[in-house]
Amino acid sequence: MHIHILGICGTFMGGIALLARAAGHRVTGCDANVYPPMSTQLEAQGIGLIEGYDPGQADLAADVNVIGNAISRGNPLLEAILDRGLPYVSGPQWLAENVLQGKWVVAVAGTHGKTTTTAILAWLLDQAGLNPGFLVGGVPVDFGVSARLSDSQFFVIEADEYDTAFCDKRSKFVHYRPRTAILNNLEFDHADIFPDLAAIETQFHHLVRTVPRAGRIIMNGAQESLDRVIERGLWSEIERFGGAGGWQVGIPEADGECAFSLDGRELGRVVLPLAGAHNRLNALAAVAAARHVGVAPSQAIESLAAFGGIKRRLELRGTVRGVAVFDDFAHHPTAIAATLEGLRQRVGSHRILALLEPRSNTMKLGVMKSRLPQSLVQADRVWCYAANLGWDARDALAPVIQKTSVLDRIEDIVAEVAREARAGDQIVVMSNGGFGGIHEKLLAALAS
């Protein structure tokens, strides 16, 4: 079967492409915004990429067109597909019907930490010999790909609350029907499609309704929003982590070890390779979910020590003249604060230089702008890329303007950072996009 994927370089749709290719299908795809790591991953797998959405691609005569949720009405290729009555389906629906059917699906939902927790969980199951299939919204270092098809009964998936497609405005995760579901956290995001937090809670409630009686929900016990979701109905088992009682993880001891426990009983200790309290909770949730599918907590905790991380999650891109440059996907104020706090714990008194691109739809709308100053507390110096924003970044960042530069050109940011950086500095670039290739530009400028 020939599958043509619209929006193939999105992390989710790129994963669909890998799974379809592994299942023996011929896969092609197109996108208007191609950048690593997804573009290079697809090319390495021999999947043909077409730049743009020329309606002539309808002549490829694909057996089915799989439509990504970034594709809207008015897209020239989508309009050609509709006008000609060509077969199409959303990515989540294709996945549910062609990959997840009959599997024990382990889904990771939440506003933050989905990618990291999904990658950890896939790693724990893999180390236990369960050989899970998976689809992660990033590229785990240990696997080298964002998605894998296997003959295992288990499939681990990042369960996104963003809408499914132009023709299906439900959250993606309602298609997955998990037997094990992690609800990592829940706060307001995606202001372009959700009017308020209550609307997102409704979608999470729809997910909860799909978990069978013999299934299990692993829920953050310190989130009032998730409490409200569960109060609307619960038909399966539930375990809580991170709140009072239930699953707990301690802060690192002097030797760096963290103790994991359940109902007050210690289960094991490990030095986590990921920094920050948020990543301790991500690991804790993954251990709890792994237990539901049969992995002993002691074994899972031991496996955490060798987890290699995920590309674009505080990923070290290079060190030049003693200056380290990290890449991170953080774009929501909560995630920005967590990233910087985790880095601060790792580097101590070394200076942190934070480069921020407010690129997500929520950030572009300015919904979270008042929270930005507080999220940047741990940074010693801040640069904000303000091109194409619909709000005044200088005004929003006024409380921290003494340490902040707001610039409209990436070249100017690179020049300033390279001029100010000194040995020992930690530069962290935060964006959910490619940020104009600023990472390599910084490394080159530092070297020169």
- The contacts of residue 397 (CB under 8 Å, 6+ apart) are 372, 373, 376, 382, 384, 404, 406
> Is position 110 annotated in a ligand binding site?
yes
DSSP string covering 249-312, please? Answer: EPPP-TTSEEEEEETTEEEEEEE-SS-SHHHHHHHHHHHHHHHHTT--HHHHHHHHTT---BTT
Q: Which residues pair with 381 in a beta bridge?
A: 353
Single-letter code of the amino acid located at 366? G
> Is position 52 annotated in a ligand binding site?
no
> Is position 112 annotated in a ligand binding site?
yes
Q: Please state, as a whole number, how many other Cβ atoms lie within 10 Å of the Cβ of residue 235.
A: 12
> Is position 113 annotated in a ligand binding site?
yes
Q: Which is it for strands 352-356 and 265-271: parallel, antiparallel or unpaired?
A: unpaired
> Is position 74 annotated in a ligand binding site?
no
> Is position 116 annotated in a ligand binding site?
yes
Rounded CA separation 122/128 (Å): 10
**3-state DSSP call for residue 375?**
helix
Asked if the bond preceding 37 is cis, omega within 30° of 0, the reply is: yes
- The contacts of residue 198 (CB under 8 Å, 6+ apart) are none
> Is position 332 annotated in a ligand binding site?
no
Binding site listing for ATP = 110-116
Binding site listing = 110-116
